[in-house]
Chains A and B, each alone.
Chain A
Amino acid sequence: EAGVAQSPRYKIIEKRQSVAFWCNPISGHATLYWYQQILGQGPKLLIQFQNNGVVDDSQLPKDRFSAERLKGVDSTLKIQPAKLEDSAVYLCASSPHHGQPQHFGDGTRLSIL
């Protein structure tokens, strides 16, 4: 089966600019997650969707980050405006249902200048 697809693979922007990341989960997976991984650390959950509804966004910095999964399939994560501390790899994961093992994409590496 095809894995979780993410794009772009790399992105470089200046601080205060906006950026968006795209994720296409494994076909049929109802649950989708976005993680942030800062260099040298493990991934940290930002938001979880079950179909097109948000299950948990408690760790999402809502003043600048937003995410949507309009049709319960693809998802986008946006940062506006970006700060230097947002430099990280943004990982998308999906699972068939809540609580089952998550399958990760290879992420988008974001660099803020």
Chain B
Amino acid sequence: DAKTTQPPSMDCAEGRAANLPCNHSTISGNEYVYWYRQIHSQGPQYIIHGLKNNETNEMASLIITEDRKSSTLILPHATLRDTAVYYCIARDVNDYKLSFGAGTTVTVRA
């Protein structure tokens, strides 16, 4: 799987949009971009995934650049409960493995 690069940490203000970047410059055409998050003392939670097109669900939006070398996860209105470690993962369509890196620790501040 392609290696992803994320900033180790970021802060955002409650009620504002949180934009989480992920770099995956070596991603192949067969690799999805997946986002998970892990709240303290809980298991990882699936957020969203995409291949080429932008995606939106009830939790977040995923913006993938046209060259697919980077993506941004957008939490539209961050709340204190969104404080977590966010993982960006590139996963091959023919593979089942999720290879977690260190992720981004996001702290939402009141």
Contact = CB atoms under 8 A, between A and B. Distances in A.
Contacts of A55: 96
Interface in A21-60: 31, 40-45, 48, 55-56
Contacts of B95: 99
A86 interface: no
Contact of A104 (B45, B93, B101): B45
A98 B97 CA distance: 10
B96 A98 contact: yes
B21 interface: no
B43 A44 contact: no
B25 to A, nearest CB: 20
A99 B44 CA distance: 16
Q: Per DSSP, are chain A's interface residues mostly helix, strand or loop, or mixed?
A: loop
A99 B96 contact: yes
Interface string A72-109: 00000000000000000001010000110111111100
A4 interface: yes
Contacts of A42: 87, 100-103
Nearest to B101: A42
Contact of B97 (A45, A91, A104, A105): A45
B87 A99 contact: no
Contacts of A56: 96-97
30 contacts: A4-B43, A31-B96, A40-B102, A41-B100, A41-B102, A42-B102, A42-B103, A43-B44, A44-B100, A45-B97, A48-B96, A55-B96, A56-B97, A91-B43, A91-B44, A93-B43, A93-B44, A99-B93, A99-B94, A99-B95, A99-B96, A101-B46, A101-B49, A102-B44, A103-B46, A104-B43, A104-B44, A104-B45, A106-B42, A106-B43
Interface of A: 4, 31, 40-45, 48, 55-56, 91, 93, 98-99, 101-107
Given A42-B87, A43-B98, A91-B44, 16 more contacts: A31-B96, A42-B102, A43-B44, A43-B100, A45-B98, A45-B99, A55-B96, A93-B43, A93-B44, A99-B95, A99-B96, A101-B46, A101-B49, A102-B46, A104-B43, A105-B43
